[in-house]
Chain A
Amino acid sequence: MEHTADAYIAAYGRNLMEAFENAALAMFEVMTDVGKIEPKIEDYVEVEAKDECALLYSWLEALLVKFDVEKMLYSKFKVLKMDETVEGLRLEAKIWGEKFNSKKHPQKVGVKAVTYHRMEVIKEPNKVTLKFILDI
């Protein structure tokens, strides 16, 4: 989608959990070719936030931090649980990927940050669309 500053992404799923998985995949596709990321190493992510938009933001940010700090790229995501809590919402997920290797993974663009700008969670029967912009 078009936005002059950055990468405007729409991710779909049959439900919210699946849409979150696809949103993560889309973010790594901005950075590299996800087809080249082998799901060799398993990891676990848990995030909490007050609403669905904030949860999406925190989920993507947690993955981005893993890249920045551990140099990990991921290509497979399984949201295990999405629960309501006193604070809002909690997500637990398993993720699979491997260490970034500049010889194996083509470089596209580094993602600076996830943003709330134009972020939307659109729910239809059997279809959830997530729209968001990555600052790159």
Chain B
Amino acid sequence: MSREKVPLEKISDYTWQIPKYKPGMRVPGMVFANKELLEKMHTDRTLWQCVNVAHLPGIYKYAITLPDGHEGYGFPIGGVAATDYEEGVISPGGVGYDINCGVRLVTTNLTEQDIRPKLGQLTNTIFENVPCGLGSRRKDFRVSVHDLERLVMEGVHWAVDHGLGWDEDIKHHEERGCMENADPDKISTTAKNRGLTQIGTLGSGNHFLEIQKVDKIFDDRVAKTFGIEHEGQVTIMIHCGSRGFGHQICSDYLRVMERAVQKYKIILPDRELACAPGKSREAEDYYKAMACAVNYAFVNRQTIMHWVRQSFQKVFKKDPETFGLNLVYDVAHNIAKIETHQVNGERKKVWVHRKGATRAFPPEHPEIPADYRSVGQPVLIPGSMGTSSWLLVGTEKAMNTTFGSTAHGAGRMLSRHAAKKRFWGGDVKKALEQRGIFVRSASSVVLAEEADPAYKNVDVVAEVSDRVGIATKVARFVPLAVVKG
């Protein structure tokens, strides 16, 4: 099945259409990539999965694969699908296991020179304060089942109320840090138990925390609006998600949706696209459960950011406010949303599935915090360990083209196994340290698997997004220190 060559028609250098060449396809596929990225997509099932997504009932316009697209489960990672709110379906596979896996960017008023003498100490302190890697957690941070139920309903408000952040952090989150409709009665005891032990942990694999510096500014005005003042400015990026809590919710609802597929007689080309009609009870339950995981992930990143602020305080012996440490924005990369979009000249209420995709709303959109509304929504695209990361800004073009979405990251080039064979953890660490990048990792296997040549070049991904115009370049960051699971 993966051997069949998916047909592509060139629209422009960065846009390719997959025609409706199969009878079950309700819409074409649309792929945003340059030749190099497209060639990579041909080597796995990315495009084949894009074709499968085009089969979903009620899907509008086209199934979208973004420049960082790679093979996922059911849906490709780096994809967007919008389905009609009533006639369409919602699919947990279109969100993924790590619900609200996302990124936040924090600015400081320090320069590389200011931080360099203390960088090792700061990195070690963060590594001690932020649990990462297999099975780690902080002994002094425990939540009860009651706390868990509150935090999944209240999101980042819960964190701030419990002293884990500042009031002004709240507005700088997608959904203002709290997705409505979260209902803990819709999640299993197993999910709750997994959630209890993993709140406030970075996790393993591709998740990371980096101390970075602004490497290059591409758009001065927009950068300044987001608090990026000059090249060399120190920033912090935190990349993680909803941990075992979100994974269990996804898993539980894949079972629910499998039954729904039979009940509602939905015909699908792949078991992992399991879904339910928008107006069904199954869809409503999933959406309410998913919102719990979304809020959990906001709290997770907020808590980790709080411990980073405390680490600055410990190392520099001054209040964290002294260093700025302002949250620029927190975005979700794996999420489903109810949004209104223009489809064939009509306003339509849709389920937007963003799986490995970043919302990229244009200037003046009401969902954007007031202080950013004149320029557009900040879009955060983390690179892989040791490479650059990007800040872009959402556009009107994204609204019209990709249901207000763009890419989310680098996307893997090598399988983890292949990466391990080619790179050895110790060498990876040494190579990064030779470039002046401090590395603390709980696992040398993770270091090898996450070695940067294992990923597509994130610069190319950001460039394609910029050229297509679905989010334009604002600033690029490079790491000074990396903390990994």
Contacts and interface: CB of A to CB of B under 8 A. Distances in A.
B445 A109 contact: yes
A11 B98 CA distance: 25
Contacts of B446: 107-109
Contacts of A136: 204-205, 416
Contact of B133 (A4, A110, A115): A110
Contact of A65 (B73, B193, B205, B413): B193
A113 B136 CA distance: 17
Majority secondary structure, A binding face: loop
A24 to B, nearest CB: 17
A49 to B, nearest CB: 9
B272 interface: yes
A106 B441 CA distance: 12
Chain A contact-residue range equals 20 to 34
Interface in B385-425: 412-418
Nearest to B244: A68
Contact of A3 (B71, B98, B196): B71
B415 A108 contact: no
Given A107-B443, A109-B449, A112-B247, A117 B73 contact: yes
B278 interface: no
A107 to B, nearest CB: 4
B133 A69 contact: no
Contacts of A64: 244
Contacts of B135: 67, 71, 100, 102, 110
B134 A100 contact: yes
A86 interface: no
Nearest to B206: A136
Contacts of B44: 3-4
A108 B194 contact: no
A109 B190 CA distance: 22
B193 A69 contact: yes
B277 interface: no
Contacts of B98: 112, 135
Chain B contact-residue range equals 35 or more
Contacts of B190: 65, 69
B450 to A, nearest CB: 9
B97 interface: yes
Contact of B417 (A8, A65, A115): A8
A43 interface: no
B133 A107 contact: yes
Interface string B221-259: 000000000000000000000001001101100100000
B71 A4 contact: yes
Nearest to A6: B416
Nearest to A7: B416
Interface in B133-190: 133-136, 190
A32 interface: yes
B193 to A, nearest CB: 5
A5 B449 contact: no
Interface string A57-92: 000010011011101000000000000000000000
Interface of A: 1-8, 31-32, 61, 64-65, 67-69, 71, 100, 102, 105-110, 112-117, 133, 135-136
10 contacts: A1-B417, A2-B418, A64-B244, A65-B193, A69-B190, A109-B416, A113-B97, A115-B73, A115-B97, A135-B247
Interface of B: 44, 70-74, 77, 97-98, 133-136, 190, 193-194, 196-198, 203-205, 244, 247-248, 250-251, 254, 271-272, 412-418, 442-443, 445-446, 449, 485
Given A65-B194, A69-B197, 11 more contacts: A4-B414, A69-B193, A69-B194, A107-B134, A107-B442, A110-B133, A110-B203, A113-B251, A115-B97, A135-B98, A136-B416
